[in-house]
Amino acid sequence: MNAPLSRDLPEHIRTALDTVTLDDKYALDYGRAFMSGVQALVKLPMLQRVRDQRLGKNTAGFISGYRGSPLGTYDQSLVKAEKYLQAHHIHFQPGVNEELAATALWGTQQLGFAPPGSNKYDGVFGIWYGKGPGVDRCSDVFKHANMAGTTPWGGVIAVAGDDHISKSSTAAHQSDHIFKACGTPVFFPANVQEILDLGLHAFAMSRFSGVWAGMKTIQEIVESSSTVMIDPDRVITRVPADFEIPPGGLHIRWPDHALEQEARLMDYKWYAALAYIRANRLNYNVIEGKHDRFGIIASGKAYNDTRQALLDLGLDDATC
């Protein structure tokens, strides 16, 4: 009989293997865990809840949407993680369709309209999800909800599952331009770790600026798996020092005339989002030198592909 495969492993690795479980990705508050991109989207709101608790805020989470590739298993993953989500006061409600799900997320940001003293939570943060065509049909809700705004302890991320090559869709899809038309900044994670990291930034930006945040996901990223670092304090968010909050603030209110909402979005909220991006260096130079003459801008999977193409051409970091 062969000896156990772990016999020759270092002691600390054997100890870790003895205690590791498939639920670590949801159960751990700190440490390394193996998970897929979809599972990272399940873990993300749990991390946000922990971060809020550490700031003395009692928040809750709400997730709703409609399944579709490459997010076809997101709802199943949420159901499987139900006990962990409930422990963090996060509620999952599958949408009848994409529009009703988005409308429900809009409603989570109206917590302040309730009679004083009647709120159970300081805020509700939300995640909407749907495939590319679902983003198309939700543009009306996205525009209205984005103009209305978010709450300081709420925030919303709209997660789009894009099928660039129409692998399992009736048409190829790219959600960037729809989000742009709705006035929604877009985050595009390049790996599983960035789904967590940029997701926390997306919530923080949404809370600060009063806009919804979009997140673009594609099969090559969201259906891939890797070991990630789980740490509520990993992402440090900075409040912009170069942006002056206008009278009345940036957040949702009632009553609020449509033209006033539009003016607030175009004159202040977009610039607040840009100020957050600058303050937290979300757009930055990966490689830079003293005599740079031109640059290449890329995000998400395109960034990974660009770096690999440069390496294939013999252009490593030092050469560039």
pLDDT tens per residue, range 156-179: 999 999 998 888 888 889 999 999
CB 112 within 8 A of CB 151: yes
Query: What is the domain partition of the chain in residue ranges?
Result: 12-279, 288-320
If pLDDT is split at 50, 70 and 90, which confidence band does 294 have?
confident
pTM, to two decimals: 0.94
At residue 132, does pLDDT exceed 60?
yes
At residue 317, does pLDDT exceed 60?
yes
pLDDT tens per residue, range 213-232: 999 999 999 999 999 999 99
**What are the CA-CA distances from residue 262 to residues 143, 243, 256, 257, 258 (Å)?**
10, 19, 10, 9, 6
Q: What pLDDT sits at residue 12? A: 66
If pLDDT is split at 50, 70 and 90, which confidence band does 6 have?
low
At residue 242, does pLDDT exceed 50?
yes
Q: Choose the CATH number for 12-279 among 3.40.50.2000, 3.40.30.10, 3.40.109.10, 3.40.50.970.
A: 3.40.50.970
- Give the percent of the chain with pLDDT over 70: 97
Identify whether 255 is preceded by a cis peptide bond (ω within 30 of 0). yes
Q: What pLDDT sits at residue 5? A: 59
Q: How far apart are CA 189 and CA 286, in angstroms?
A: 15
Query: 3-state DSSP call for residue 34?
Result: strand
